[in-house]
Amino acid sequence: MPAFTPPPLPSDDKRWKIVNGTMRKNGFARHALIETLHTVQSSFGYLDDDSIRFVAQSLRVPLSQAYGVVTFYHYFSLKPPGKHTLTICAGTACYIKGADKLIAAAEQKLGIPQGQTTSDGKISLMMARCVGACSRAPVGLCDGEVAGEMSGEQMLEQLERWAVE
Amino acid sequence: MTIEELEQIAKSVSQENEKYDFEVNVCMDLACASQGAEKLREALVKATEASGKNVLIRRTGCMGPCSSGPLVRVDPDDILYHHVNAKHAEAIANSLGEKPVPELQCDLNDHFDKQVRVVLENAGYIDPEKIDDYIARDGYKALLTALTEMTPNGVIHRVTESGLRGRGGGGYPTGLKWGTVAKAGGDIKYVVCNGDEGDPGAFMDRSVMEGDPHRVVEGMALAAYAVGASKGFIYVRAEYPVAVARLTTALREARRRGLLGNNICNTPFNFDVEIRLGAGAFVCGEETALLASIEGKRGTPKPRPPYPAVSGLWGKPTLINNVETYANIAPIIRNGGKWFANMGSERSKGTKVFALTGKITHTGLVEVPMGIKLREIIEVIGGGVPGGHTFKAVQTGGPSGGCIPAEMLDLGVSYDALMKVGSIMGSGGMIVMDDTSCMVNVARFFIEFCMTESCGKCIPCRAGTAQMHTLLTRICSGSGTMEELDLLVQLCATIKETSLCGLGMTAPNPVLSTLKYFKNEYIEHIVHKRCPAGVCNLQAPVPNAPVEVLA
């Protein structure tokens, strides 16, 4: 059997080298699929068809299995994120302290349901399953930055600031 | 690395620390960090330099009472300051060696007096990124002692003697599990640490991984020695980037010091650990699903037996324990099984860390001996319900647990007692609810969680949770009927008995426990179209037709 040669990088974008690095570190083993997808998402922001195809071929994983993994785990996204992301934690402690009202208010303000990005690509509204800052519930993440005891006004102000940027 | 070298490091750290007249410890855990702890630390460095005093500023893991954050503790006087920000740095620097700053001092004696710290003994005292800090507090002593003076069976015997039970929620005796893996045949075995803290509303494991990562690594190494494994995996949620970073640093440092790798302490024992990232799936806390995820597959559970102890990761015998279980191992080996067994209640030994959150004055991490009354945790340690509201229920065990009402607060916390009242110990989330929380709505929240987190492999869980969610939504929006309530109870029984894994089997628990203790709230919603807590909108438009679920 001829030795396996990984497929060429999809483009000369430097980020593919980072992705390839993760796979090489794991010896191109099949079990590195999730690790590699994490690297793709942290480098590119999301997973598109090309990247899934590239990773699947490189690791010799059936495309169906790679796509299955991408869609199974909530952390992976198939859509590019907006310029800014507001994530509202919807863990139990946050829920008890009114996270559902925050989500409803943000949805109304932005005119999109959670999980979507505004049509101008500026703001994504996401929901998280507990970020582990339960003692400061309700928690919001503004571009990944934890903001504890978030009030409705604070959240709307932040959205306003992003909208006029 | 030998024990003598270890002691040498410990000695040099304490000599180094003695050069300083004061130690200022700044809590850098998520809750404090989100309120500007880093800025505060920088300001403290500047202010103490300007004051010309000989001060060591240390960044530490979670000190516990997060609601009072950012927290600063000044040693050797053991003064705790709360709600500190960068503006206070100068006042603190000037107060060193003089009178403490009165307006920042907090009286949390009630909060701390009833606590016993085993797992969290180092949190707040060491810099989690410095291995020497950990070694100075007896770190890795247990590992090296075990490697040189104890047999693998001796280690298992000591863990069995301690009576330690799995801290992930199941409560399976740890020594028994280790014994099974040790007896399993084959050259290749694995140890896995379950750091996929999926329970929404709990953060004990995150704090342990971030605040004292070496303790987890040491526990895993001891487990590997006991069962005969040479490779370990820590499975951490991707939502915990700081924990991943701290563990990565810890592993690198441990390798550098020769505490991981080949021929540890000049013995034939080899061990190394890899980190695996989760990707946001609650079901991956279930052991067979977690193993599938480590193998790079979808996290769907498998029927047991075979148990992972016999056939786990890549078909090899695998030991899986929770972060907190591993964190208990080093002190047990160091101090003996009897020492541990002396704490706690008849069948639940030792201590348990709880993440106290919700409608309670002092939110944060607490560690209490098993058997302590719920009332003591909530009213004394937690400081009770704030804002003049009355306590209604406490939720333990997350989506797999239940709500415990006020009349049962004198219950002692143990695996069996919580199980008996329809909840579970769980991993340690403890969410307090007051009279503004609607129990039907809470039950609906948990079922919605289980519905979206169901992996879809078995029908009772996939279709059943969706139907339960529909029924609960109808009740919450005022269009439920008493017949539907009966249907809900029937569904609970079916899902409980026929689901494949723990997620499905325990999914009905929040509904069953609220029905048991708060049935009047369900009836108020159905018969009188009224939500006693004023949470539900009973005039909301509702889907009349049941949701179609492909079974």
Are the beta carbons of B358 and A91 separated by less than 8 Å?
A: no
Report how many domains make up chain B: 4
Chain B residues near residue A76 by CB distance under 8 angstroms: 279-280
Say yes or no: B457 and B401 in one domain.
no
pLDDT (tens digit per residue) in B78-108:
999 999 999 999 999 999 988 999 999 988 8
User: Which single residue is written with the structure tokens 């439920």?
Assistant: B480
Q: What is the pLDDT of residue B109?
A: 87
User: Which single residue is written with the structure tokens 């438009």?
Assistant: B541
With an 8 Å Cβ cutoff, is A132 touching chain B?
Answer: yes
Q: What is the pLDDT of residue B542?
A: 61
B41: in domain: yes
Q: Considering chain B, what percentage of its residues have pLDDT values greater than 90?
A: 91
CATH of domain A84-163: 3.40.30.10
Q: What is the pLDDT of residue A136?
A: 92
State the nearest Cα–Cα gap between B392 and chain A, in angstroms.
12
Q: What does the alpha-carbon distance between residue B185 and residue B90 come to, in Å, rounded to a whole number?
A: 63
Would you call the peptide bond into B76 cis, given omega within 30 degrees of 0 as the criterion?
yes
Q: What does the alpha-carbon distance between residue B15 and residue B13 come to, in Å, rounded to a whole number?
A: 5
Q: What does the alpha-carbon distance between residue B523 and residue B485 come to, in Å, rounded to a whole number?
A: 9
User: Domain-by-domain residue ranges, chain A?
Assistant: 15-72, 84-163
Chain B residues near residue A38 by CB distance under 8 angstroms: 238, 277, 279
What is the mean predicted confidence (pLDDT) over B27-44? 94
User: Which single residue is written with the structure tokens 């709230």?
Assistant: B521
Write out the two tokens for B373.
Answer: 């009354």
B5: in domain: no
Chain A residues near residue B67 by CB distance under 8 angstroms: 135-136
Q: B69 pLDDT band (50/70/90 cuts)?
A: confident
What is the mean predicted confidence (pLDDT) over A51-79? 96
Q: What does the alpha-carbon distance between residue B247 and residue B214 come to, in Å, rounded to a whole number?
A: 8
pLDDT (tens digit per residue) in A4-22:
888 999 999 999 999 999 9
Residue A140 has, within 13 A of its CA and on its CB side, a CA count of 25
Boundary (domain end) residue, out of B434, B468, B499: B434
Q: What is the pLDDT of residue A35?
A: 95
> Which of B201, B276, B281 faces A93 most closely, judged by CB atoms?
B201
- Mean pLDDT computed over every residue of chain B: 94
pLDDT (tens digit per residue) in A94-138:
999 999 999 999 999 999 999 999 999 999 999 998 999 999 999
Exposure b/e, B486-513, CB count within 10 A at least 16 = b? eebeebbeebbeebbbbbbbbbbbbbbb
Are the beta carbons of A133 and B203 separated by less than 8 Å?
A: yes
pLDDT (tens digit per residue) in B131-161:
999 999 999 999 999 999 999 999 999 999 9
Q: What is the pLDDT of residue A109?
A: 94
pLDDT (tens digit per residue) in B486-507:
999 999 999 999 999 999 999 9
State the nearest Cα–Cα gap between B494 and chain A, in angstroms.
25
Using the predicted structure, report yes or no on whether residue B288 has a pLDDT greater than 90: yes
Q: What is the pLDDT of residue B546?
A: 55
Say yes or no: B251 and B331 in one domain.
yes
Cβ(B29)–Cβ(B68) below 8 Å? no
Q: What does the alpha-carbon distance between residue B286 and residue B275 come to, in Å, rounded to a whole number?
A: 18
pLDDT (tens digit per residue) in B367-397:
999 999 999 999 999 999 999 999 999 999 9
> Which of B296, B364, B437 faces A135 most closely, judged by CB atoms?
B364
Which of B45, B66, B58, B1 is CA-nearest to residue B365?
B66
What is the mean predicted confidence (pLDDT) over B215-220? 98
B543: in domain: no
State the nearest Cα–Cα gap between B289 and chain A, in angstroms.
12
Strand locations in B422-520 (E):
429-434
Q: What does the alpha-carbon distance between residue B216 and residue B2 come to, in Å, rounded to a whole number?
A: 20
State the nearest Cα–Cα gap between B452 and chain A, in angstroms.
10
State the nearest Cα–Cα gap between B134 and chain A, in angstroms.
24
Chain A residues near residue B200 by CB distance under 8 angstroms: 90-95, 129-130
pTM of the full predicted structure?
A: 0.95
Q: For B436, which residue in chain A has the nearest alpha carbon? A: A96
Chain B residues near residue A141 by CB distance under 8 angstroms: none
Q: What does the alpha-carbon distance between residue B334 and residue B198 come to, in Å, rounded to a whole number?
A: 31
The Cα-based distances of A156 to A100, A105, A117, A150, B38 in angstroms read 15, 8, 16, 10, 26
Say yes or no: B189 and B238 in one domain.
yes
With an 8 Å Cβ cutoff, is A127 touching chain B?
Answer: no
State the nearest Cα–Cα gap between B31 and chain A, in angstroms.
6
Say yes or no: B414 and B501 in one domain.
no
> Which of A32, A92, A148 faces B431 most closely, judged by CB atoms?
A92
Classify residue B296 by its DSSP letter: T
Chain A residues near residue B202 by CB distance under 8 angstroms: 130, 132, 134
With an 8 Å Cβ cutoff, is A64 touching chain B?
Answer: no
Q: For B438, which residue in chain A has the nearest alpha carbon? A: A96
- Angle between helix axes A99-110 and A152-163 (nearest 10 degrees) is 30
State the nearest Cα–Cα gap between B11 and chain A, in angstroms.
36
Say yes or no: B260 and B157 in one domain.
yes
pLDDT (tens digit per residue) in B294-338:
999 999 999 999 999 999 999 999 999 999 999 999 999 999 999
Strand B351-358 relative to strand B429-434, pairing = parallel
Chain B residues near residue A33 by CB distance under 8 angstroms: 296-297
Residue B363 has, within 13 A of its CA and on its CB side, a CA count of 30
Cβ(B341)–Cβ(B163) below 8 Å? yes
Q: For B455, which residue in chain A has the nearest alpha carbon? A: A72
Are the beta carbons of B200 and A68 separated by less than 8 Å?
A: no
How many of the other CB atoms lie within 10 Å of CB of B77?
12
Which of B436, B434, B507 is CA-nearest to residue B472?
B507
With an 8 Å Cβ cutoff, is A42 touching chain B?
Answer: no
Say yes or no: B202 and B234 in one domain.
yes
Say yes or no: B144 and B278 in one domain.
yes
Amino acid making up residue B255: R
Contacting residues for B135 by C-beta, under 8 A, at least 6 apart:
B6, B9, B10, B13
Q: What does the alpha-carbon distance between residue A90 and residue B198 come to, in Å, rounded to a whole number?
A: 12
Q: What is the pLDDT of residue B538?
A: 86
Are the beta carbons of A132 and B239 separated by less than 8 Å?
A: yes
Boundary (domain end) residue, out of B65, B91, B108: B108
Are the beta carbons of A134 and B357 separated by less than 8 Å?
A: yes
Are the beta carbons of B34 and A133 separated by less than 8 Å?
A: yes
With an 8 Å Cβ cutoff, is A93 touching chain B?
Answer: yes
ipTM, two decimals, is: 0.94
Q: What does the alpha-carbon distance between residue B479 and residue B460 come to, in Å, rounded to a whole number?
A: 25
Classify residue A30 by its DSSP letter: G
Say yes or no: B318 and B406 in one domain.
no
Contacting residues for B294 by C-beta, under 8 A, at least 6 apart:
A31, B192, B233, B235, B276, B313
Q: What does the alpha-carbon distance between residue A3 and residue A1 come to, in Å, rounded to a whole number?
A: 6
Cβ(B470)–Cβ(B416) below 8 Å? no
Q: What is the pLDDT of residue B539?
A: 81
Chain A residues near residue B297 by CB distance under 8 angstroms: 33, 65, 69
Say yes or no: B46 and B59 in one domain.
yes
Q: For B29, which residue in chain A has the nearest alpha carbon? A: A133
B7: in domain: no
Say yes or no: B178 and B266 in one domain.
yes
The DSSP code sequence of B247-293 is HHHHHHHHHHTTSSBSSGGGSS--BEEEEEE--S-GGGGSHHHHHHH
Q: What does the alpha-carbon distance between residue B103 and residue A78 come to, in Å, rounded to a whole number?
A: 51
B189: in domain: yes
Q: What does the alpha-carbon distance between residue B126 and residue B246 come to, in Å, rounded to a whole number?
A: 13
Chain B residues near residue A35 by CB distance under 8 angstroms: 276-277, 296
Say yes or no: B420 and B464 in one domain.
no
Q: Which domain holds residue B255?
A: 138-341
* Alpha-carbon dihedral angle through residues A91, A97, A98, A99, given to the nearest 10 degrees: -30
Q: Domain with B366 in it: what CATH number?
A: 3.10.20.600
Cβ(B409)–Cβ(B375) below 8 Å? yes
Mutate to test the interface with B, among A26, A31, A61, A92 (most CBs of B within 10 A): A92
Boundary (domain end) residue, out of B399, B434, B469: B434
pLDDT (tens digit per residue) in B405-433:
999 999 999 999 999 999 999 899 999 99
Q: How many residues does chain A have?
A: 165
Q: What is the pLDDT of residue B76?
A: 87
